[in-house]
Structure 1
């Protein structure tokens, strides 16, 4: 799938890269939830992505293999330092239903700061991937007095992030990229067979066990509910890679150029 690219002048959140070269990156720092967690959430070495007879998690991952961020870096000697952990939200203080023990972005950033890591800005990249658990928490907290969560709310959320990225880029010359992952999963849902899947379903019925699961995980996009299988993790990494390569400010897709002319 070829991502549709936008530009820094876009008024809404789009696929865009302001200047990150993946070839120059040797360390990827990851913050997020189970969609990015590698089994280690302290920035150390992740355990091998091998099966566990007591759970469906492979090496603590919510998948049956490596996560997208582990697949993304192919440079020799490159490493992933992950602070992501399953169940994390953007800010746990926003939700009554989220316990104080649940990880959130401020906590993960503090864990990173506590390690006093000396980074090389030219060879380091940070990936932030949150939101799924925030949606669940917001639904639990919803009352009759509050309107239901709508598509407009998601669009507004994305726009706030997008506007913030542009602001920091202008003031601090920060290089950033925005990847609209929903586009990829919508395409998979609409036409799973074009991606090599037989359906848009899960391989497993539960994250607790592999019993009763499918015979071939490669034929299903999800390992268990809401969590991409190893084959899909590779597609996510490929999609991110394509955005970084094709959606730079000097390399906008023909589809976007046509859109801007119209």
Structure 2
């Protein structure tokens, strides 16, 4: 091996081994072990259904939501690389150890993600009295988008909206979840209407990842409101019941090749006490999916879009409880 120093050879070997492991890992991860339960277009209650979204036609995704969607840039610009920040737990501002599900969703065709999502966001902060002044809501995120006066191509643009977890927390603290979450749903539709009037015509609606009694009316209001927008404003949408995915995970983490239903980190503030292998756990920090789980989320959303549509759907409706 003359002319090929041992150090260089050793480093090359390590690099190749790492690439092999990464490649093998990707093969393991890209197989969703469940089939989403599809609903019907005539349903009066919230179900999995796609009214016409075609992912291969999309070149840009606009994202509105909380830390379950945020990618580190909440003004619609280029997000930071998904790399760990010094002494921190966020990867480029993401509450995970890699890419977010919306960044994974259309990576194969090179689509752009333009995010306005902010960690901790609720739908309407004026509904709650226990929030910090710094909390952002859908109202503000929508305004942040509208003031930019962006020109979009409706045929190639998808708008993702994923809120609810923080609303549930705030409403529960006030012991008014059953009263406040339906009001939040009405504001959700008001803000969505503003996005429609700005030119957006294709929507990806994700329900909260847990199924609580208080969310039943909330989800139904949004589902039926989107049906009305479809008639009155000629939009189309895909509706995804996220609670089904997380219920299946909660029941059987081994099905997803996870060791448990825990998070790798015990706190969102520190790396102290972290696990040895994040890929073994569905959460990176408490209640926030790990990079592997983000990939499963993207697969689940894709599966709903591809399978839950006219000619392929069934009428079974979700009725599951999930803790998140």
Query: Shared fold (TM-score greater than 0.5)?
Result: yes
Aligned residues: 254
Aligned partner of 1:139 among 172, 187, 196: 172
Deviation at 1:208, TM superposition (A): 1.4
Corresponding residue for 1:260? none
Q: Does 1:55 align with 2:116?
A: no
Q: How far apart in 2 are the matches of 1:133 and 1:105?
A: 12
The 2-side partners of 1:148 and 1:171 are apart by: 27
Q: Which residue is 1:222 aligned to?
A: 283
- Compared CA separation, residues 247 and 57, structure 1 to 2 (3 A): same
Q: Does 1:169 align with 2:202?
A: no
Aligned-pair CA distance for 1:231? 0.2
State how far apart, in whole Å, the 2-side matches of 1:188 and 1:75 are: 26
Choose from 120, 135, 144 the match for 1:111: 144
2:322 aligned partner: none
TM-aligned CA distance change 1:77 to 1:33, over 3 Å: same
- What per-residue deviation string (whole Å, max 9, x for no partner) do you get for residues 119-175 of structure 1? 0000000000000100111122227xx999993321111111111011111112211
Aligned-residue RMSD, C-alpha: 1.9
Give TM-score, length-normalised by structure 2. 0.75
Q: Secondary structure at the match of 1:163?
A: helix
For residue 305 of structure 2, the aligned residue among 233, 244, 262 is: 244
**Distance in 2 of aligned mates of 1:211 and 1:199:** 20
> Equivalent of 2:257, from 196, 221, 226?
196
Q: Could you tell me whether the CA contact under 8 Å between 2:64 and 2:141 is conserved in 1? A: yes
Structure with larger Rg: 2
Q: Relative contact order (C-alpha < 8 Å, sep 6+): which is higher?
A: 1
Between stretches 223-232 and 47-56, larger displacement belongs to: 47-56
In structure 1, runs of 5+ residues without a counterpart are 258-262
Of 56-65 and 46-55, more deviation after overlay is shown by: 46-55
Provide structure 2 residue ranges, at least 5 long, that are not aligned to the other structure.
1-33, 182-210, 318-324
Aligned to 2:63: 30
2-side partners of 1:222 and 1:77: how far apart? 26
TM-score, normalising length: structure 1: 0.92
Change (3 A) 1:104 1:234: same
